[in-house]
Structure 1
Amino acid sequence: MSTKQEKIQNFDPSQPGLAEASIFGLPFTADESDIVIVAVPWEVTVSYGAGASDGPKAILDASYQVDLLHQDFPDLWKLGIYLDEGPSHWKANSDLYKEKAAPLIEALENGERIADDRELQADLDAINAASAQLKREVKERVLSWQQKGKKVILLGGDHSTPLGYYEALGTAYANFGILHFDAHMDLREAYEGFTYSHASIMYNATRLPQVSKLVQVGIRDFCEQELKEVQSSEDIKVFTDADLKKGQFEGKTWQEQVDRIIGVLPQYVAVSFDIDVLQQWYCPNTGTPVPGGLSYEQAVYALNRLAASEKKIIGIDLVEVAPGEDEWDGNVGARLLFHLCGVLAKNNGLAVGDRVVLGD
């Protein structure tokens, strides 16, 4: 059997990725890979657009066409990146409980009280129990990879999926912040009765004792409850899209704004990247689109700046990629995921090579 070094020597990164291989067409096993991506195809509580549970599969399919010579991280592929597709019951349970959630959401939209309907209340209880079980299983899965020395990235699914991931990070880091890229604050408490709603992920995350700071970037949609949550906490800092653009229009450079964002983070940082922080033409099928947003280049620059800073990136999740009839969402998601792998690797001192400089 070939060693990892022999595979590196015999693999041609200029050719299309190997379809029978893992993500990005790489030939490495899980044991040979420095980075493991845990896919969580789950979207039970979505109340608007659907499809996030199909995001990991769309990203995997698109990943085979990603050129492996990354300008910022030219040797990234040599580290090995492996996709853990997760147990089959995650997707099966997502489909099952999403079907149960639809009548609940419809009843709430019609002004009904779930507690007045015994059957609906039973379904709500079952959904919350299944979501809690997913959280526990994600935590255990991530911990198992961390114990093998892997750098772990979580790939959703909707934005409810990383909570168990944050709990796993909390077993190694007693104090860390979350740098949250998103169009939404996700600070609603038990949105629509769902304890682990995608709209409640940051509310739930900030209740973890290890999470000492939440820094939100690109926000452009929030409710009164979420605003009160921000205003009542010294540990939440929000950089709305409107404020960032206002600063840009009035002469602040993106570098200045990014450095200010990084400056308020604690030493240890987990990055949560909801694809809908980007302008919608990058993710036309994401579940809850909002006008405005960051460009892909702005996001990449901010991530690179963080990677080169003195902050320590302890984890990254990418969520809410939902495929459409074409491959565009998966294509953007795959390329962003590859970049996120490079950001995590570089910041953690793994050998990714020197940036390729073309021209002056």
Structure 2
Amino acid sequence: MSTKEEKIAGFDPSQPGLADASIYGLPFAAEESEIVVVAVPWEVTVSYGAGASEGPAAILDASFQVDLLHQDFPELWKLGIYLDEGPEHWKTQSDSHKAMAQPIIEALERGEDIQKDSLLKADLDRINAASETLNAELKARVLDWMAKGKKVILLGGDHSTPLGYYQALATKHSNFGIFHFDAHMDLRIAYEGFTYSHASIMYNAIQLPEITKLVQVGIRDFCEQEVAVVQSSNKVKVFTDSDLKKAQFEGKTWQQQMDEAIALLPQHVAVSFDIDALYQWYCPNTGTPVPGGLSYEQAVYALNRLAESGKNIIGIDLVEVAPGDTDWDGNVGARLLFHMCGVLAKNNGLAVGTPINFH
């Protein structure tokens, strides 16, 4: 059997990735990889556009066409990136419980009281229990990889998926913040009755005492309940898309804005990136698109500033990539994920090579 060093020597990163290999076509097994990406193909509580549970598979498919010579992290591929596709029952349970959730959502849209319908109430309880089980299983899986010395990234699925990941991080760090890129605040309380709704992820996250700050960037859609949560909590700071753009139009640089946001975070930081933080042309099939957003370049610049800020990045999640009739969403997701792997690796002192300078 070849050693990792022999695999590196025999691998040509200029050729298309190996189709029978793991993500990005890399030839490394899990035990040889510094970074493990845990896929969570789950989208039980979506109430608008669907497809996020197919996101990890779409990103995997697109990853084989990603050039591995990254300008910022030219030797990243040598570290090894491995995709843990998760247990099969996560996807099957997502499908079955999503079908169970749709009549509940439809009844709510008709103005019905779910608590007065014993059948729908029983199904709602089953969905909440299944989501809680997912969180527990994910937490255990992430901690298992961490115990093996791996840097772990979570790949959703809808935005409900990272809660078990945050719970795992909370066992390792008593004080950390979340740098959250999104079109939505996701601070609704048990949205549509679902305790673990994709629209409630950040509300649930800030209930963890170990999460001491939530800094949100790119927000452009929210409700009164969410505003009330922000105003009543000293944990949350919001940079709306409108405010960011207004400041830019009036002369404030993106560097200044991101440095201001990063300075609010504690020493340890997890990044949560909902793909709908970007302009919709980067993610045309994401579930709940909103006009406006960040450019891809703004996003990676912000991530780079965080990596170079002196803060410690302890985790990253990427969610809500939903494939459509083309492979564009998967392509953008795969490239953003690759950049995120580089950011996490560099910030954690792993060798990613010297950035390529064309000037």
The verdict on a shared fold, with TM-score over 0.5 as the criterion, is yes
Letter in 1 for 2:190: A
Letter in 2 for 1:343: V
CA distance in 2, matches of 1:176, 1:356: 32
Which residue of 1 is the match for residue 108 of structure 2?
108
Which residue of 1 is the match for residue 288 of structure 2?
288
Any idea what the Cα deviations from partners look like across 1:257-281, whole Å, max 9, x if unmatched?
A: 1110111110000000000000000
- The SS at the match of 1:171 is helix
CA distance in 1, matches of 2:354, 2:262: 23
Any idea what the Cα deviations from partners look like across 1:22-66, whole Å, max 9, x if unmatched?
A: 000000000000000000000000000000000000000000000
What is the correspondence of 1:256-335 to structure 2 with a 5 Å cutoff?
Answer: 256-335=256-335
CA distance in 1, matches of 2:272, 2:343: 13
Which residue of 1 is the match for residue 186 of structure 2?
186
What is the correspondence of 1:87-98 to structure 2 with a 5 Å cutoff?
Answer: 87-98=87-98
**What is the TM-score when the length of structure 1 is the normalising length?**
0.99
CA distance in 2, matches of 1:351, 1:64: 22
What is the correspondence of 1:1-360 to structure 2 with a 5 Å cutoff?
Answer: 1-359=1-359
- The SS at the match of 2:31 is coil
Any idea what the Cα deviations from partners look like across 1:162-184, whole Å, max 9, x if unmatched?
A: 00000000111000000000000
CA distance in 1, matches of 2:334, 2:44: 23
**What is the TM-score when the length of structure 2 is the normalising length?**
1.00
Letter in 1 for 2:345: A
CA shift, 1:241, in A, is 0.3
Letter in 1 for 2:209: P
CA distance in 2, matches of 1:232, 1:325: 43
CA shift, 1:310, in A, is 0.5
CA distance in 2, matches of 1:64, 1:196: 33
CA shift, 1:234, in A, is 1.3
Letter in 2 for 1:87: P
Any idea what the Cα deviations from partners look like across 1:132-170, whole Å, max 9, x if unmatched?
A: 000000000000000000000000000000000000001
CA distance in 1, matches of 2:134, 2:280: 29
Structure 1 runs of 4+ off > 4 angstroms? Answer: none
CA distance in 2, matches of 1:172, 1:193: 31
Q: Which moved more, 1:229-238 or 1:60-69?
A: 229-238
CA distance in 2, matches of 1:235, 1:118: 37
Any idea what the Cα deviations from partners look like across 1:105-143, whole Å, max 9, x if unmatched?
A: 000000000011111011000000000000000000000
Letter in 2 for 1:157: G
CA distance in 2, matches of 1:125, 1:265: 36
CA distance in 1, matches of 2:96, 2:177: 34
- The SS at the match of 1:174 is coil
Any idea what the Cα deviations from partners look like across 1:166-220, whole Å, max 9, x if unmatched?
A: 0000111000000000000000000000000000000000000100000000000
CA shift, 1:347, in A, is 0.3
CA distance in 2, matches of 1:121, 1:172: 36
| Contiguous gaps of at least 5 residues in structure 1 | none
CA distance in 2, matches of 1:132, 1:263: 33
CA distance in 2, matches of 1:128, 1:24: 35
CA shift, 1:309, in A, is 1.1
Letter in 1 for 2:60: L
CA distance in 2, matches of 1:355, 1:261: 25
CA shift, 1:235, in A, is 1.3
> How well do the aligned residues superpose, as a CA RMSD in angstroms?
0.4
Tell me the percent identity: 77
